[in-house]
Amino acid sequence: MLSPKTIVITGASSGLGEALAVEYAAPGILLALTGRDADRLEATAAACRAKGAAVEAARLDVSDAAAMEAWLLALDDRQPVDLVIANAGISAGTGGAVEPADQARRIFAVNLDGVLNSVLPLIPRMQARKSGQIALMSSLAGFRGFPGAPAYCGSKAAVRVYGEALRGTLAASGVAVNVICPGYVRTAMTARNSFPMPLLMDADKAAALIRRRLGRNAARIAFPWPMLAAVWLLQALPPALIDPLMRRLPAKGVDAD
């Protein structure tokens, strides 16, 4: 989809979702945006309208399957969706202890169930039209489990593998699927991290990179490449060798956001 006209972006009230919305905003574009914070979502919508885009903004929790399905299908009835970017996600860790059970379940509900709720209602319609593009937001943290953030890593790993499989499933019907695996991006989410974040990238630069590679229908959009190489190495090394090192890495704080 080199020039999608109707674009859904979840988690657009801040961070990378906000940056992606602004990146795609232009005359002739309809942006359908969701987020949890109504004020921040409206600020994103205003910035996109200032660039000439038409915007429909809805305060929705992506973990609410019924609400997401109703909103997506109503939108698609009015104007068929060309591109959906299932971006909404939350992050938290162990804080150096054991991850709270309610936090772990909430992370999976948003990061995994929320992705499914954002794309499953649209897949049959895109298949029927033999066109459309689905982008799933994973993370470089989805390549190897980090002891300081087990639910976050696990949820992003599930999204990555699901997306890679779904790409093959839908290829014959003309629907593209892309998996996005960023490293550290400068957002409110990463601002909460108290540990060093190598190769931290500004959100607007990350959004521009993602848009370019989605335009080329790249199967996996993973960046920056030195971080990708590092996680590939961690994934390839035997656990007995790498586990002692992994246990010494800093942990994310608790309280999912």
What's the alpha-carbon Rg for the chain, to the nearest Å? 18
152 has catalytic annotation: yes
> What whole-number distance in Å separates Cα of residue 160 and Cα of residue 149?
17
Question: What are the structure tokens assigned to 245, written together?
Answer: 């090192």
DSSP character string of 111-152: IIIHHHHHHTTTHHHHHHHT--EEEEE--GGGSS--TT-HHH
Amino acid in position 3: S
Q: Are 79 and 6 in contact (CB under 8 A)?
A: yes
Q: How buried is residue 257: exposed, middle or buried, by Cβ count under 10 Å (0-12/13-18/19+)?
A: exposed
Active-site residue (options: 24, 152, 162, 184)? 152
C-alpha 110 chain-centroid distance: 10
Q: In the chain, how many H helices and how many E strands?
A: 11, 9
Are the CB atoms for 52 and 27 separated by under 8 Å? yes
Catalytic residue list: 152
